[in-house]
Amino acid sequence: MFAWMEHLRIPILDVDNLSYIVLASHKPEVCLRKMDKETRYTLEYLIRFVARLQPFTKAQQETVLRRILASLTQQSIPIRGTLLPQGKGFTKLREGTMRKLLEFSGKFFDMVYLETRSGSAGSASSSTTDYAARVTPPGQVTTPPPSESTEDMTAGDDS
pLDDT of residue 145: 56
Range of weakest confidence among 14-18, 44-48, 62-66, 119-123: 119-123
Indicate the pLDDT class of residue 14, thresholds 50, 70 and 90: very high
pLDDT of residue 159: 42
- Angle at which helix 15-23 crosses helix 95-118, to 10 degrees, equals 80
pLDDT of residue 142: 46
Indicate the pLDDT class of residue 63, thresholds 50, 70 and 90: very high
Is a pLDDT exceeding 60 seen at residue 23?
yes
- Longest pairwise C-alpha distance within the chain: 52
Average pLDDT over residues 50-65: 88
Give residue-wise pLDDT tens across range 70-111.
999 999 999 999 999 999 999 999 999 999 999 999 999 999
Is a pLDDT exceeding 90 seen at residue 21?
yes
Domains plus CATH for the chain? 2-133 (1.10.555)
Give residue-wise pLDDT tens across range 104-150.
999 999 999 888 777 655 555 554 444 334 333 334 444 455 554 44
Average pLDDT over residues 23-39: 96
pLDDT of residue 29: 95
Beta-carbon contacts of residue 71 (< 8 Å; ≥ 6 apart): 1, 2, 5, 6, 85
Which has the closest alpha carbon to 44: 100, 146, 127? 127
